[in-house]
Structure 1
Amino acid sequence: MTAEVRVPEPGLRERKKAATRQALHDAAVRLAIEHGADRLTVEAVADEAGVSRRTFSNYFANKEEALLHGDRQRMVLLIDAVRARPAAEGPWTALSRAAQEAYQQIGELDPHWVAQTRLLRSEPALLAQQVSTFAALERELAAAVADRLPEAQRSGIRGRLMAATFMTATRVSLHVWLEDPAETPLAELVQRSLAEVGRGFVE
């Protein structure tokens, strides 16, 4: 019998750092929605969060990174969910079920996140930062997918194609949903998209 692996709870210092990072992200989103991302400054975000400019720099390289922190968090949680799926599941099944669980847990979407995502679509600088952020996360996801492939396929293109296809499907689903949120729940739209594009990956 395999022993259960317990992930240690974060210590007080880690929790405080996470809280500060979240406060900076929340402040950045709040100010961007109110004044526009193009008028947002690092100094304003730091002031809004009640910290120094130096403290901001300890957590984020720029205002774009602070704005996109929520998206990065969600993707990291999704990658962790893929890794936590039963080992017997094939890679595309693990991706689809992890996405289903993630969007069910999200439930009612935070209005700030919805507003931020709409803002992102109209800001070239944010889009460029998102591409860079998601490229790194896609590599992590591809590694998690590759672990589920037969050993002979792990260094090939299949895992990378799966990860790229998965992220594209979820991104397109989000953009379609934002155009008419009342039409179809986001979780259902994501599952439809994954079922459509995943036919060539079904184990």
Structure 2
Amino acid sequence: MSTGLRERKKSATRQALHEAAVRLAIEHGLDRVTVEAIADAADVSRRTFSNYFASKEEAFLYGDHARMCVLIDAVRARPAGEAPWQVLTAAAVEVFQVLGARDPRWIAQVRLVRRHPALAAQQVTTYTSMEDGLTAELVARGVEGPIRARLMAAAFMASVRVAVQAYPDRTGGAALIDVMREALAVTGEGFRG
């Protein structure tokens, strides 16, 4: 299904605001970046910024939100017969494999999140907001009980977040996908069976 012109423009504006927020935060530090500066850098009004994001932290982390939406779509696309934790792991590998090599800009973003409590809180909010969709998908795939499905979704999202946060400190050329597999394997031991 093709996206209409209006939706493409909205998506481009959202992406421009995100990129401006990231660039300015890396260049000047998050504390020195204002919503007005982000709007100016994206060549939109402050009001337009507010139509897309509630805060500079939300704009900064829009890439995480977009990746989590892709991740949930990847979970939904997995074969019906796979075990639930296998589905989650395979989807994460598929989505995060594309990040491949160490991108210095992305590493800088991750490090900024770790240094700023407001960004860390927004990241947790972004990840936990995806739990409802994952929980519903896990229940549809036969996970017994809404509590078990929600715990599995929460543990999965926490594992993904921890892997992303641990990745910049890995030495020896470890790829993000290797860190992701490790985190998911450790967490998944409690959900096998």
Displacement, 1:109?
4.8
Displacement, 1:41?
0.5
Paired with 2:79 and 2:178, the residues of 1 have a C-alpha distance of: 23
1:19 partner amino acid: A
* Aligned pair partner of 1:12 in 5, 20, 28: 5
Residues 129-165 of structure 1 deviation map (CA, whole Å, 9 limit, x = unaligned): 2222222112222222221125xx24x3111111111
Gap regions ≥5 residues in structure 1: 1-7
- After superposition, the Cα gap between the structure-2 partners of 1:72 and 1:109, relative to the gap in structure 1 and judged at 3 Å, is farther
Counterpart residue number, 1:192? 182
Counterpart residue number, 1:4? none
Paired with 1:32 and 1:181, the residues of 2 have a C-alpha distance of: 25
Counterpart residue number, 1:114? 107
Aligned-residue identity in percent: 56
2:107 partner amino acid: V
Displacement, 1:118?
0.5
Gap regions ≥5 residues in structure 2: none
User: Residues 90 and 149 of structure 1 are in contact (CA less than 8 Å); yes or no, is this contact kept in structure 2?
Assistant: no
Residues 76-126 of structure 1 deviation map (CA, whole Å, 9 limit, x = unaligned): 110110011111112111101101111222223543222111001111111
- TM-score (norm: length of structure 1): 0.88
2:168 partner amino acid: L
Paired with 1:167 and 1:35, the residues of 2 have a C-alpha distance of: 30
User: Residues 26 and 108 of structure 2 are in contact (CA less than 8 Å); yes or no, is this contact kept in structure 1?
Assistant: yes
Residues 32-69 of structure 1 deviation map (CA, whole Å, 9 limit, x = unaligned): 01111111101100100111111111111111110110
Residues 165-196 of structure 1 deviation map (CA, whole Å, 9 limit, x = unaligned): 11222222222221135442110121122122
Greater than 4 Å deviation, 4+ residue runs: none
- TM-score (norm: length of structure 2): 0.93
- After superposition, the Cα gap between the structure-2 partners of 1:66 and 1:183, relative to the gap in structure 1 and judged at 3 Å, is same
Answer yes or no: is 1:95 the counterpart of 2:54.
Answer: no
Counterpart residue number, 2:67? 74
Q: How many residues align?
A: 193
Paired with 1:122 and 1:92, the residues of 2 have a C-alpha distance of: 31
Deviates more, 1:22-31 or 1:158-167: 158-167
- After superposition, the Cα gap between the structure-2 partners of 1:38 and 1:45, relative to the gap in structure 1 and judged at 3 Å, is same
Displacement, 1:202?
2.4
Counterpart residue number, 2:140? 147
**In angstroms, what is the RMSD of aligned CA positions?**
1.6
